[in-house]
Amino acid sequence: KNEVEQSPQNLTAQEGEFITINCSYSVGISALHWLQQHPGGGIVSLFMLSSGKKKHGRLIATINIQEKHSSLHITASHPRDSAVYICAVNSGGTSYGKLTFGQGTILTVHP
């Protein structure tokens, strides 16, 4: 079993739909990242969480440390949201770029 599990692996939505991607992890962490990777390959960090909830525009990320679970929500989805979303955890210490990655969720939003 992987230390970081994402679900679903593939997600197809219609424009305007509310989307949720889930991430479960099995190790203690100091931080969790949600990353976005577009077809060109570049990776962007959307959120870094160590507790609670963060919001940026139409994106919301939550984390429950006790349950070792995080969710990424996209409200009013748009075709430009189509990308791979990757959950990654840092297991602590000062090497917080030493990340363990989930397998990614491929999101396709149709107009």
Partner 1 sequence: DSGVTQTPKHLITATGQRVTLRCSPRSGDLSVYWYQQSLDQGLQFLIQYYNGEERAKGNILERFSAQQFPDLHSELNLSSLELGDSALYFCASSPRGGPYSGNTIYFGEGSWLTVV
Which residues contribute to the site for partner 1 (CB under 8 A)?
A: 30-31, 33, 35, 40-45, 48, 50, 86, 88, 90, 93-101, 103-104
Would you say 93 or 111 has its CB closer to partner 1? 93
Tokens 């609670």: give the residue: 52
Would you say 45 or 108 has its CB closer to partner 1? 45
DSSP 96: T
Would you say 13 or 86 has its CB closer to partner 1? 86
C-alpha to C-alpha distance for 44 and 32, rounded to whole angstroms: 14
What the block records as the tokens of 17 is 């739909």
